[in-house]
Amino acid sequence: MNAQLLDGKATAAEVRRELAERVAKLTATGGRPPGLGTVLVGDDPGSHTYVAGKHRDCAQVGIASLRRELPADATQQQVEDVIDELNADPACTGYIVQLPLPRHLDANRVLERMDPAKDADGLHPVNLGRLVLGVEAPLPCTPRGIVELLRRYEVPLAGARVCVIGRGITVGRPIGLLLTRRSENATVTLCHTGTKGLAWHVREADIVVAAAGSPGLITKDMLRPGAAVLDVGITRTDHGLVGDVHPDAAQVAGWLAPMPGGVGPMTRAMLLANVVEAAERNANAA
C-alpha cells in the first residue's frame, strides 16, 4: 500500500485563494481590510524567516502587514507597550508574538496582556477556555489546520479512533478538543511519555497525529493498515529537520501528511483564516 499524500502546500494555496475572495468581498461592502500584526524580539534568523513568510502569505490574500520589531535587549515594559499599541490599533485585526522570547522576558505576562479578540494564534488562555466551553473564538492554528486537511481529503472523522502523541499546548492538548466536537465526533486517545504500550494505542487508531518531537517515533509496524497519519513533530538534527514519523510508514498508511509539506503550510493558512474571520466579525458588529 502506498499512502495518499495529504498535500498541505496545495491545500493551503486553495485556502488562501478562498480567503482572498472573502477579503475582496469584505472591502467591497465597506468593511475595514484585515491586518495581521507580528511582534518580533531579537535577531534570531529562523524567527525572522518565519515571520517574513507569514507576511508574504498576507500579501497574497489582501491582509495588511503590521510589523513590530524590537532589539534582543528590549525590556518587559517596552514589549508590553507594543502589545498595548496593537490592542488599541483598529487597523490590527489580529496579531502574534513570535516565540520564543529572550530569556529575560516573561512570555506568559506578554501573552496574557493580548486582547483575546486579536489572538491570531488561538492560544490565549481565554480562547482556550472558550474552546473547552464550545464558545466561538479564534481556534489554535495547527489543530485547526489538521482538521481542515483531513476534511478536504475526505478522511472519515465521525466515529474515528484518533491517537494523538504529544501533550504540548500548541497541538496535543487542543487537538482533542476540536476532534471531539459534535461536528467531528471522533474518539481521541492522548499519549505521552507516561503512556504504557504506545504501539498498541497507535495500532488501534484510524488517525494518528504525531506531535511528540521524537524523530522517527512512529514506524510502519505500529500502524493499522490504511490509517491516516499526520506528522507534526519537528526536530532539528545535523541532517536537517526530522519529523516524528519514519518514512517507512508510507508503506502501510492510507493517507500521510509528511513533514515538511503537510501540516505546516496549513498552520500558516489557518492563521490567515483567524484574521479574516475576526475582520468579518468586526464588520458584522459595526
Query: 123 and 65 in contact (C-beta within 8 Å)?
Result: no
36 burial level (CB within 10 Å; 0-12, 13-18, 19+):
buried
**pLDDT tens digit sequence for 178-211:** 999 999 999 999 999 999 999 999 999 999 999 9
pLDDT tens profile 35-75: 999 999 999 888 888 899 999 999 999 999 999 999 999 99
Q: Quick one: which of 165, 185, 187 has its CA closest to 231?
A: 165
> pLDDT (tens digit, 9 = 90+) per residue, 138-172?
999 999 999 999 999 999 999 999 999 999 999 99
Q: How far apart are CA 223 and CA 205, in angstroms?
A: 8
Active-site entry in 54, 119, 206, 231 = 54
Same fold, 30-115 and 141-263: yes
CATH number of 30-115: 3.40.50.10860
Instruction: Name the binding residues for NADP(+).
Output: 166-168, 234
Summarised one tens digit per residue, pLDDT across range 217-240 is 999 999 999 999 999 999 988 888
The overall pTM is greater than 0.85: yes
pLDDT of residue 237: 86
Of the candidates 121, 206, 231, 244, the residue annotated as catalytic is 121
Spell out the domain ranges in the chain.
30-115, 141-263
Give the pLDDT score at 1: 62
CATH number assigned to the domain with residue range 141-263, chosen from the 4 options 3.40.50.880, 3.40.190.80, 3.40.50.10330, 3.40.50.720: 3.40.50.720
User: Residue 236: its pLDDT value, please?
Assistant: 86
